[in-house]
Chains A and B, each alone.
Chain A
Amino acid sequence: MNLSYLANASGIAAEYSLYEKWIASAKVILTGFAVVFAVLLLLIAIIKLYSTIVIKVQDRSIVKKNKKVKVAQPGDTLKKPVVIPVQKNTADEPAVSDGIDDEVVAVIAAAVTAMYGTKGKAKIKSIKKSGGRSAWANAGILDNTRPF
């Protein structure tokens, strides 16, 4: 605790000479500039580093997944032609049922496109109506409302 703080606490106005004022100002300005910029520049470096690592790891896992899919298909189809039952590709097309209107599906798809764009990786795999609460949610509500 410095003297000026004590002076404040006791209600006495702190009085500095011109020299002391320059010293106090220079000290705070220099320390402030240096520390704020150093910390934030360090933060920039760390964010860049971990972002690069995360992006690379995620890209690699996507490539691995794609490779697995590609390797599995040719062998099966060349040697043993199999009759594949006519079936909709559920991974690419949204599973719409349970009384969800086409209009609702269109609105959700438009919202997703507006957020992620047409070139993005976003894909609607299924649309479900949110039904009743799960057992955990019910337990949580019971726990919170029991005192009342």
Chain B
Amino acid sequence: MEIIDGFFKAITGIFNESGISTLNWQNYVMIAISIVLLYLAIKKQYEPLLLLPIAFGMLLVNLYPAIMNPPSVELLTADQCAAQHVELAGHAKRVIDGVTYYENPTYGGLLYYLYQGVKLGIYPPLIFLGIGCMTDFGPLIANPKSLILGAAAQIGIFVTFTGAIFLGFSEPEAGAIGIIGGADGPTAIYVTTKLAPHLLGSIAIAAYSYMALVPIIQPPIMKALTTKKERMVVMEQLRPVSKLEKIMFPIIVVILIAILLPDAAPLVGMLMLGNLFKESGVVDRIAKAAQNELMNIITIFLGTTVGATASGQNFLSLNTIKIIVLGLIAFSMGTAFGVLFGKLMYKFTGGKVNPLIGSAGVSAVPMAARVSQKVGQQENPGNFLLMHAMGPNVAGVIGSAVAAGVLLNVVGH
């Protein structure tokens, strides 16, 4: 009889602690959403490197919410301590209503600890280090005017800020939502953790979704704002850039931006350090480690823990829908302003600049540049805009980091 009682108690205990009795409907909705995202990452290959860990983090946290629990202290009586084989010595005492309790610290969940790299703003700059190692700023140095297009594409960030304010978000929240328009995942995460950490899940998922949808969102805007004649412009070949110029570039950029806009220094600093690793040619091993092993490890931690912030209770709200709509507006505006400034450059240069390269001013490297190339080739199959579009594309990375610095300075302090 005692055996059967023990068996039933054990089964009841397991059932009570299982997801079947602890999860609510929001968790089940989020599990369904995460499976859809996993499908998009695996089958459709939409930004799989990030969407897959994000979706899986989302799945994990909604199956087992305690995986994101912070460490805490539980209060145990002397009898409970004895039952749980907790030694009394060394535990602080607390007396409540005449009963003595012992403070027994409990550990946090696995993803809580990994999330500290996001919360403390460590992972995004490290991702930028790897990006710097992989980025060739040659096209930008050869044609520095493309920085104007990188700046123009950031206008969407600030215009969306206004939209978010009028939809009832606070200033820091609006700043974090606007940065989606920069189309730069690490920057969006960095700014959001500083300004509105409670919106991190929604903003990161919106940002990465739109980056994955660049080839679908951008072409209609690009075609609507340009004429066939403008799209057919063949640009002159870029001049070759010497190694010395490439080595000087990251040093000059970091000095300038860190002095003028210290809030952007962690992102720009790491980006430029990575680029100096690459261009100097003297630390090949470090450059390879930064762009491969380090970046891959950080991507796993970043993706999984950002996904784990999207628990049902946080994610399923009207605010998430607003963020997704505003993110689309931010992204579209960034593309539109980039193309419009491209048109201005077309006029001022007497038709030497193809306005299609302006859309690459939103970061999303190198996808946005590829879209410029593809749309250009649809009109003129012999036209190769890729290298010309890489200038505004990498300028967009610098531009969005500068815009992030502005937002952190204006609404974050």
The interface of chain A, by Cβ under 8 A from chain B, is 1-2, 4-5, 7-8, 13-16, 21, 24-25, 27-29, 31-33, 35-37, 39-44, 46-48, 50-51, 54-55, 58, 116, 120, 140
B398 within 8 A of partner (CB): yes
Contact B248 A50 (CB under 8 A): yes
A-B contacts counted at CB < 8 A amount to 130
Question: Is A39 a contact of B252 with CB atoms below 8 Å?
Answer: no
Excluding A25-B166, A28-B411, A29-B162, 5 further A-B contacts by CB distance (< 8 Å) are A21-B166, A24-B165, A32-B157, A43-B253, A54-B242
* Interface segment out of the listed B142-150, B223-231, B376-384: B142-150
Note all chain A residues with C-beta closer than 8 A to B357: none
Of B55-63, B86-94, B123-131, B401-409, the segment with at least 4 beta carbons within 8 Å of chain A is B401-409
By the criterion CB–CB under 8 Å, are B413 and A40 in contact? no
**Complex contacts, B406 vs chain A, CB 8 Å:** 28, 31-32, 35-36
- Asked whether A36 lies within 8 Å of B151 as measured between CB atoms, the reply is yes
Q: Which 7 A-B pairs have the closest CB atoms?
A: A14-B170, A32-B158, A25-B162, A4-B170, A47-B144, A40-B151, A44-B144
Whole-angstrom distance between the Cβ of B210 and the nearest chain A Cβ: 20
**A135 shortest CB reach to chain B, Å:** 16
Q: How far is the CB of B203 from chain A (nearest CB, A)?
A: 14
B245 interface residue (CB < 8 Å to A): yes
> In the complex, what distance in Å separates the CA atom of A17 from the CA atom of B158?
20
Please, which residues of chain A bring their CB within 8 A of the CB of B412? 5
Closest partner residue, chain B, to A1 (CB atom): B413
Query: B8-16, B74-82, B171-179, B291-299: which lies at the A interface?
Result: B171-179
| Complex alpha-carbon distance, A51 and B142, angstroms | 9
B190 within 8 A of A: no
Give every chain A residue within 8 A of B399 (Cβ-Cβ): 36, 40
Whether the pair B158, A33 counts as a contact (CB closer than 8 A) is: yes
Q: What is the CA–CA distance of A122 and B222 in the complex, to the nearest angstrom? A: 38
Interface residues, chain B, with chain A CB atoms under 8 Å away:
140-141, 144-145, 147-148, 150-151, 154-155, 157-159, 161-162, 165-166, 168-175, 195-196, 198, 240-242, 244-245, 248-249, 252-253, 256-257, 260-261, 285, 395, 398-399, 402-403, 406-407, 410-413
8 contacts between A and B (CB under 8 A): A8-B198, A21-B166, A24-B174, A32-B406, A36-B406, A40-B150, A42-B260, A47-B144
By beta carbon, the residue of chain B nearest A115 is B240
Cα-based distance from A33 to B337 in the complex (angstroms): 12
Give Cα A31 to B406, complex, Å: 8
Query: In the complex, what residues of A have CB within 8 A of residue B172's CB?
Result: 4-5, 8
Minimum distance in angstroms from A112 CB to a CB of chain B = 13
Bound: A42/B255 CA distance, A: 12
Q: Report whether B402 and A35 are in contact in the complex, using a CB–CB cutoff of 8 Å.
A: yes
Known contacts A25-B161, A42-B256; is-contact A54 B244 (Cβ 8 Å)? yes
CB nearest to B199 among chain A residues: A8
**A residues within 8 A CB of B171?**
2, 4-5, 14, 24, 28
Closest-by-CB residue of B relative to A4 is B170
Residues of A within 8 A of B252 (CB): 46-47, 50
Bound: A44/B395 CA distance, A:
11
Q: Which of A4, A13, A55 has the most CB of B within 10 A?
A: A4
Tell me the bound Cα distance from A58 to B123 in angstroms.
40
B148:A44 contact, CB within 8 angstroms: yes
Q: Tell whether, in the assembled complex, residue A21 and residue B165 are in contact, meaning their CB atoms are under 8 Å apart.
A: yes
Q: A40-B147, A46-B252, A50-B252 are in contact. Are A28 and B398 (CB under 8 A)?
A: no
